[in-house]
Structure 1
């Protein structure tokens, strides 16, 4: 295989030095680019309003501590909005698994007629910007077809649209495609139906991709802003991201930054804890048997 740098040059002393120099520079630049905003946010939350208003602002706060975070928690009543967000995220996660897993299983293993057409239409929705479907989706949840109910200020307004996730269905289907059909045929010979086969054979083998779908679903629902802003006009039912935006005009800047830090901690923790599972699930290419 021909590459930009030959193997002999890469194994030479000069080649190795140049390689690690370039690799180190790229790693440092990207690390700074991703970490610096988070570090600035965390340090800014511990500064006083006077320090933040100073030009240029000091790099480090005059006093380290968690006092600003406790004040922000009480001032904006963040506990209520954390509970609202957890309820929305948990429901969105469960609904996505309940709908996307059977849909992907049907497209992969049951192979219904016109299944490829349905999958193609699902993937075609990825070509549309999210803003293009906001109005049709909002009109749908304000007057649900057949039922004629209004889901505004109802968590179902978040949960039901979340189920139509083409990316999750595609990831699950690609993984299910690689599960040997012999395992499913053996299960059928033992008298198991499609639902039993899915529950007892397919799902235990699909833990890596289920972990990826679960993590991405939770993070996406946690940080979503536009859709919760539209469907939760009642302040008492708003999620954390919407509540912080509503408090922004009347909240001291350091308390607002502290609230943003607190809102970011769960998603950062999820990524740091499960980053290996995310990569393993995305790169899982077969089933050991």
Structure 2
């Protein structure tokens, strides 16, 4: 008995040593190996890649900087040629004026509720579908999974007309979801990419856990709620973040479905404000775009490690 107790302890020490070694190796990994950096050609490659990445970063952040700086300019300064790199007289009141003129609290609440509803539907539909394909005995699982892969090859714009027809007159029950949040949420409840990612993660959960649950008398729903979901928090966190960002920036489908101004999300409302109200100063529109962009940017900055970790854990397997 003492030997059995010491072996796991020793194994844990060996496992810790292996993890420490792997962590040290991971910290030493770079784009160019230390041995290559000692050579003149390796240093040249390093600085060339560094310069290209720096230029790519500047080019990527350029429009974002122009948006944030343009929100502080006057209308005449925005269209000034040559443009100013920084506002000559920053007008911080543009943000408060845009908040009031564009009725930001109403549309921000609508956008937040749509994002929360999309997350709930995605977790319910995608997680249960992935669980059925991964752990349950479903006839034709290979064909279903292949069909999901095929839908990823079809551009989303192709679905617009069939989805709009279905929302206008739901089959069988003949109810119109036009101009309602359900009309926006239901077509996005099932996502093939999320289902395949979660299925790949569920496949990595040991089969011994399911066998132990069946022996203990647990049914499929209990095993899903008490075992699968708690173990799948990293994957569910990534799906949640991606769904929130996708719902936050969704424009075309809410534009087609929602005609009531009070139900429209931020992006759709800003589009209508810029098109219907010709007296709206351009600086207020840019300030509204900045305010609409802050939540997803903050969400990504706060959870960027969870996103990268979740992508590593949920990589699709061949």
What range is the shorter-chain TM-score in?
over 0.9
Cα distance, 1:17 vs structure 2: 2.1
Rounded Cα–Cα distance in structure 1 between residues aligned with 2:163 and 2:261? 21
Further displaced range: 58-67 or 274-283: 58-67
Residue equivalent to 1:236: 262
CA contact (8 A) 2:238 2:311 kept: yes
Residue equivalent to 2:303: 274
Q: Cα 1:68–1:59, aligned 2, differ >3 Å: closer, same or farther?
A: same
Computed over aligned residues only, the root mean square deviation of the Cα atoms, in angstroms, reads: 1.8
Cα distance, 1:66 vs structure 2: 2.7
Residue equivalent to 1:3: none
Q: Paired residues, what number? A: 282
Residue equivalent to 2:73: 47
Residue equivalent to 1:30: 56
Rounded Cα–Cα distance in structure 2 between residues aligned with 1:178 and 1:278? 19
Instruction: Extract unaligned runs of 5+ from structure 1.
Output: 1-5
Q: Secondary structure at the match of 1:50?
A: helix
Cα distance, 1:180 vs structure 2: 0.5
Alignment of 1:3-152 (within 5 A): 10-64=36-90, 66-152=92-178
Residue equivalent to 2:274: 248
Alignment of 1:153-168 (within 5 A): 153-168=179-194
Cα distance, 1:8 vs structure 2: 9.5
CA contact (8 A) 1:10 1:19 kept: no
Structure with max Cα Rg = 2
Among candidates 244, 263, 286, match of residue 257 of structure 1: 286
Cα distance, 1:9 vs structure 2: 7.1
CA contact (8 A) 1:212 1:282 kept: yes
Cα distance, 1:222 vs structure 2: 0.6
CA contact (8 A) 1:187 1:197 kept: yes
CA contact (8 A) 1:69 1:255 kept: yes
CA contact (8 A) 2:37 2:43 kept: no
CA contact (8 A) 1:9 1:15 kept: no
1:189 partnered with 2:218: no
Rounded Cα–Cα distance in structure 1 between residues aligned with 2:266 and 2:129? 31
Taking structure 1 as the reference length, what is the TM-score of the superposition?
A: 0.93
Runs of 4+ in 1 over 3 A off after TM superposition: 6-9
